[in-house]
Structure 1
Amino acid sequence: MMRRWQWLLSLGVLALPLRAHALLATCTVSTTGITFPAYTSPGGGNADSTGDVAVTCTATIVIGTGSYTIALSTGSGTFANRALISGGNSLNYNIYTDTARSIVWGDGSGTTQTESDSYVILLTPTTRHYTPYGRIPGAQNKPAGTYSDTVTVTITY
């Protein structure tokens, strides 16, 4: 009787689908913000910089495969024009998924795109990095100041 129980238990584990579910994996996200270089106003060119979005996933029950999507909020603006704020002043900027800075990283609505990935869930943490490409368009006439914004990163897995 004891052998039969062990055999059924093994079959039960093997019969689990090898896809990520909330109970099979945990994922966390950490970020390094985009820090732009000094911006020349008026008449300056584009100010470009990058940050980092790191997603770490770990299996909690079994090893398998999974996927996730990374979305960004609008911050203090819209997906068309995110805004860096300094007091009552704002400086337009945006965050992109590509080095050409042509695809706005958003929540998938309108013309924005999210970042998606699939992975093998291991019992040890696996981390993948994604680069947000930031740009402040040139030729904005704004007063000097310290401009900032907060964008929320959401991972769905």
Structure 2
Amino acid sequence: MNAIKSTLFAAMLAGCIAAPATAHDCGGVCTTSFEVYLDVVASCEFTGSTDVAFGSHAVVPGQQLDAYGSLTVRCNVPAAYAISLDGGRHGSVTDRRMASDTGETIAYQLYSGPGGTSPCTAAAGTQWGDASGGCIYRGTYAGTPQDIEVHGRLTIDNPRAGSYSDTVTATITY
């Protein structure tokens, strides 16, 4: 038992000796300080999406079609974020295209908000672009998941019958 007390006393004495110069005389009681901290890191993610589905149509050349989808965003803390969309698999941000199995294409545009009138930059109706240029949707997460509307619009020329599709990638930056 005395060996344990001697070891404990030696450890306490060593702690006092290793303390800063202002605390070298412990007087039987040694103190030290330590910090308590936490780094809160923001994290935002897409928790869901719905497709922009134009449906099946017997089209008339010059007919304009609109379709709506959405992206659902959730962050762990209040955070500002930006959402960019790429040009899809068959086009570019300024010339998006759906393609059929035979290689035929139909051009379409993507906008934020209903009717293509809600801006994601200062210019209302600007196509939703990628981070390298064009329109970027900006928002602030305030605690509940947010649904951001994606408005698709196309004008039919004279396409061949078939199924047309494209895959667009959305990226969130916070």
Q: TM bucket by the smaller chain?
A: 0.7 to 0.9
User: Contact 1:41–1:143 at 8 Å: present in 2 too?
Assistant: no
Deviations 1:12-58 (A, max 9, x none): 45xx6xxxxxx612221121110113244442511101001001111
Q: How does 1:20-35 map to 2 (within 5 A)?
A: 24-29=41-46, 30-35=48-53
What is the TM-score of this pair, normalised by structure 1?
A: 0.73
> Cα RMSD (Å) of the superposition?
2.3
The residue number in structure 2 matching 1:113 is: 135
Runs of 4+ with deviation above 6 angstroms: none
User: Contact 1:37–1:48 at 8 Å: present in 2 too?
Assistant: no
Alignment gaps of 5+ in structure 2? 1-30, 117-124
Q: Name the CA distance, whole Å, in 1 between partners of 2:148 and 2:105.
A: 27
User: Contact 2:94–2:129 at 8 Å: present in 1 too?
Assistant: no
Question: Over alpha carbons, which structure has the higher Rg?
Answer: 2
User: Contact 1:39–1:47 at 8 Å: present in 2 too?
Assistant: no
User: Contact 1:34–1:134 at 8 Å: present in 2 too?
Assistant: yes
What is the TM-score of this pair, normalised by structure 2?
A: 0.67
User: Contact 2:79–2:141 at 8 Å: present in 1 too?
Assistant: yes
Work out the number of aligned pairs and report it: 133
The residue number in structure 1 matching 2:83 is: 70
More strand by share: 1
- 1:103 corresponds, among 120, 123, 126, to 126
Moved more, 140-149 or 34-43: 34-43
The residue number in structure 2 matching 1:20 is: none
The residue number in structure 2 matching 1:129 is: 147
The residue number in structure 2 matching 1:19 is: none
More helix by share: 2
Q: Name the CA distance, whole Å, in 1 between partners of 2:62 and 2:55.
A: 12
